[in-house]
Structure 1
Amino acid sequence: MTGTDDGWVRSWGASPQAAHDGLGSFDGHPPLADVTLRQVVRISGGGGRVRVRFTNEFGTTPLTIGAARVGLAEPGGGVRAGSERVLTFSGAPGVTVPAGAPVLSDPVDLCLPALAKLSISLHVPGRVETCTCHDPALETGWAIPGDAVAAPALPGDAVPLPVRALLSAVELVPDVPARTVVVVGDSRVDGAGSTPGANRSWPELLAERGVAVHVSNQGISGNRMLNNGIGPAVLARFDRDVLATPGLGYVVLSVGGNDIGISFAPRDASLADFLAMFPGAPVTVDDVIAGYRQLVGRARERGVKVYATTIAPYGGSEIYSLEGESARRAVNEWIRTGGAFDAVLDFDAVWRDPDHPSRIREDFHAGDHLHGNDAGYRALADSVDLSLFG
């Protein structure tokens, strides 16, 4: 286990990225200036003391937060009466966050059951030149003109917020000692293809099974292990998004599929614009395995257990190729038999069609033969042996 964290654990997380390095969800959105952002997050485990991590890690200028609050969310953007807590920063009501930095709020007392939904509001009085975000949000959020941090109900001039903006984690002191499971990976971790606003990524569904730990989802849609592109590569963000997690107890590596898929994708005109989002030379099976070894070594330095998922099929998708399928199977064979991990979660076995092993079962994908639907992600979560986190 890790060193001392003063009892804090991360109960919810969203990996930061630059708005221009995402899926484009923020393109065309009005600049954030003199605006209140109200966002809903669902924590995994419960506790009685909470703090919020805001982020300007991809900002190019300082970020001023004029005011911030947290409370239990009500449907439709409201905040439950009596649950509102003013967030402060070293005792002050606001804070200026340097470019490239995060900031933690002061702790507040708030009794939170497991799987509680929180409403987090922050007022940005100035203009945000470069928004640090997570794309897509997969949970409803709103932008409201002016300072509406204290509004108990969602004002009528609120507009939807298409990304998770300036917010990266919720941390709390649990009622009983607990550890955090950090799942790091790509869109299949992020929950792409699941029902928006329903908390149906497989890490969130794992938390619903009553795991005696907290779960932090550090998936980025389109992410790779070895090369930047859509978000920083896992090797580049591993210290920030995983190893710096308060209460870290377990790491689940669920990455590598995009490294293989992009490297071996057909080089035809129809995919040219898509592939341009992924710079860097193609990688080999040996490159991917070496990347896993690096991540395992860095995690073991923290004294935590490291698990890996096998790479699920993607036959039938636009990026599929026979060469990529051969590479996927070779990497999966190493994951299963190489002895590098404390345990293996065989997601390939859960999702593959018995009659067409290069493809996801028809009832488990979101229509693109690449991402799961709600049932597919449920099957992954249900396949996990909970004793791994005991």
Structure 2
Amino acid sequence: MTEPEISWVRSWGASPQSPDEGLRSLDSHPPLADVTLRQVVRLSGGGRRVRVRFTNEFGTTPLTIGAARVGFALPGGGVRDERVLTFSGATAVTVPVGAPMPSDPVDLPVSALAELSISLYLPERVETCTCHDPVLDTGWTIPGDAVAASALPPDATVLPVRALLSAVDVLPGAPASAVVVVGDSRTDGAGSTPDTHHSWPELLAARGAGFVVNQGISGNRLLNDGIGPAVLARFDRDVLATPGLGCVVVSAGGNDIAISAAPRDDGPMADFLKMFPGAPVTTDDVIAGFRQLVARARERGVLVYATTIAPFEGSEAYSTAAEAARHEVNAWIRTGGAFDAVLDFDAVWRDPDHPSRIRADFHSGDHLHGSDAGYRALAASVDLSLFEPAVIAGKPGR
């Protein structure tokens, strides 16, 4: 009998953004020039080889990587068992404007939930840094070429974004597939404790769901750009192009509804709303957007699950019109039959005594984003059998 082919599978990801979007956390940071960036990522699944995907997708000039390494992260920014990363055999590379750059594979046996340290030296000034903002894993900027430093030098400073780094793929020991979660800040893990890996996709991986890739962007929408490209716009790059893709979980639509229903005046949301161009959308528009994603995923033989939209009364984004729209979209998600499975996050988070609000112990204080306990509850509510290899390989619902 022929052995099944083993292919690369994505084990970690962070959707690339422009530094001019959202929190703009790099605005007050010194220029990235003649510095080393050291960043920590936690893999979801393990394997015997590793490759790292760097990115200049929102860059305005070519990006020079003078050296790069990957190893196992130690507390406080240290690293052990490092491997030198190469690019078509060279230790340095220039990444064109608008392009990603995967490294050559390296032999580095890694286990599920292993924390890797990735260092890259930037000999020239980075004019526009492709990033992911905010970042919930502490990283550092170190003066000069420090990729080989096993301990964090005393002159290191905190890096406020995930910079120039978008994915880690592994070659597993047996055939496997990836689950990509695409969504907004609630997927991204906003409100959770930094450096604890408490976004619900990471917690789902910790429960044993396998290769789970978090492609959330805080402030993201399904239909229109604003903070990051819209889910419809980035679906090919962030989901369908994922190595080993078997399933996608769509967790979006809440920002489309809330922003469309928000009053366009000089109220407390006025400055925030300036980041979200485009005309207001209807519930029919949102549902049509979901249908597009399902159709595009099914063309690739990919299962599509969806989460219902959790409550947000008490937040600045709330309005009675948005609440009515949320109920309408959730009813369609639950009963419309478009998805292979529904994860009812609305039912998990809503306060039984006030269903338009999140339970007090499940939000981070803003009535919008989860607390650590809230994200744990979401992850615990998911039926892990949905991600079993036999289920994904069987492609039910197609």
Distance in 1 between residues matched to 2:65 and 2:298, nearest whole Å: 37
1:198-213 matches, cutoff 5 A:
198-211=196-209, 213=210
Contact residue 266 and residue 320 of structure 1 kept, 8 A: no
The residue that corresponds to 1:128 in the other structure is 126
Q: Alpha carbons of 1:104 and 1:315: their partners in 2 closer, same or farther (altered >3 Å)?
A: same
The residue that corresponds to 1:33 in the other structure is 33
Distance in 2 between residues matched to 1:107 and 1:34, nearest whole Å: 26
The residue that corresponds to 1:294 in the other structure is 292
SS, match of residue 376 in structure 1: helix
Contact residue 37 and residue 141 of structure 2 kept, 8 A: yes
Give unmatched runs, 5+ long, in structure 1.
Answer: none
The residue that corresponds to 2:275 in the other structure is 277
The residue that corresponds to 1:263 in the other structure is 260
Contact residue 137 and residue 163 of structure 1 kept, 8 A: yes
In structure 1, give the amino acid aligned to 2:121.
H
Contact residue 22 and residue 134 of structure 1 kept, 8 A: no
TM-score by length of 1: 0.97
In structure 1, give the amino acid aligned to 2:254.
G
Distance in 1 between residues matched to 2:236 and 2:168, nearest whole Å: 18
The residue that corresponds to 2:395 in the other structure is none
SS, match of residue 331 in structure 1: helix
**1:101 aligns to 2:99 (yes or no):** yes
1:211-250 matches, cutoff 5 A:
211=209, 213-250=210-247
The residue that corresponds to 1:319 in the other structure is 317
Contact residue 38 and residue 117 of structure 2 kept, 8 A: yes
The residue that corresponds to 1:159 in the other structure is 157
Q: CA shift at 1:267, angstroms?
A: 3.3
Q: Match for 1:145 among 143, 146, 161? A: 143
Q: CA shift at 1:77, angstroms?
A: 0.2
SS, match of residue 49 in structure 1: strand
In structure 1, give the amino acid aligned to 2:156.
A
In structure 2, give the amino acid aligned to 1:179.
S
SS, match of residue 308 in structure 1: strand
The residue that corresponds to 1:168 in the other structure is 166
**1:339 aligns to 2:306 (yes or no):** no
Give unmatched runs, 5+ long, in structure 2.
Answer: 389-398
Identity of aligned residues (%): 79
SS, match of residue 360 in structure 2: coil
Distance in 2 between residues matched to 1:266 and 1:370, nearest whole Å: 18
Cα deviation per residue 1:131-165 (whole Å; 9 max; x = unaligned)?
A: 00000111000011110000000011111000000
In structure 2, give the amino acid aligned to 1:264.
A
Distance in 1 between residues matched to 2:22 and 2:319, nearest whole Å: 25
Q: What is the root-mean-square deviation in Å for CA atoms of aligned residues?
A: 1.0
Contact residue 21 and residue 231 of structure 1 kept, 8 A: yes
Cα deviation per residue 1:300-321 (whole Å; 9 max; x = unaligned)?
A: 1110100000000001101100
Q: CA shift at 1:268, angstroms?
A: 4.0
Q: CA shift at 1:5, angstroms?
A: 9.0
Contact residue 10 and residue 169 of structure 1 kept, 8 A: yes
Distance in 2 between residues matched to 1:319 and 1:156, nearest whole Å: 42
The residue that corresponds to 1:13 in the other structure is 13
Distance in 2 between residues matched to 1:90 and 1:27, nearest whole Å: 34
Distance in 2 between residues matched to 1:5 and 1:195, nearest whole Å: 39
Distance in 1 between residues matched to 2:50 and 2:269, nearest whole Å: 45
Q: CA shift at 1:333, angstroms?
A: 0.1
Distance in 1 between residues matched to 2:334 and 2:36, nearest whole Å: 48
Contact residue 5 and residue 247 of structure 1 kept, 8 A: no
Q: CA shift at 1:21, angstroms?
A: 1.4
Distance in 2 between residues matched to 1:194 and 1:47, nearest whole Å: 28
Distance in 2 between residues matched to 1:25 and 1:33, nearest whole Å: 17
**1:117 aligns to 2:115 (yes or no):** yes
Q: Alpha carbons of 1:5 and 1:357: their partners in 2 closer, same or farther (altered >3 Å)?
A: farther
**1:195 aligns to 2:193 (yes or no):** yes
Contact residue 34 and residue 127 of structure 1 kept, 8 A: yes
Q: CA shift at 1:166, angstroms?
A: 0.2
In structure 2, give the amino acid aligned to 1:105.
S
Q: Alpha carbons of 1:5 and 1:170: their partners in 2 closer, same or farther (altered >3 Å)?
A: farther
SS, match of residue 38 in structure 1: strand
Contact residue 5 and residue 246 of structure 1 kept, 8 A: no
Contact residue 46 and residue 110 of structure 2 kept, 8 A: yes
Q: Match for 1:349 among 347, 350, 373? A: 347
SS, match of residue 36 in structure 2: strand
Paired residues, number: 384
Distance in 2 between residues matched to 1:187 and 1:50, nearest whole Å: 28
Distance in 2 between residues matched to 1:6 and 1:60, nearest whole Å: 37
Contact residue 35 and residue 144 of structure 1 kept, 8 A: yes
SS, match of residue 374 in structure 2: helix
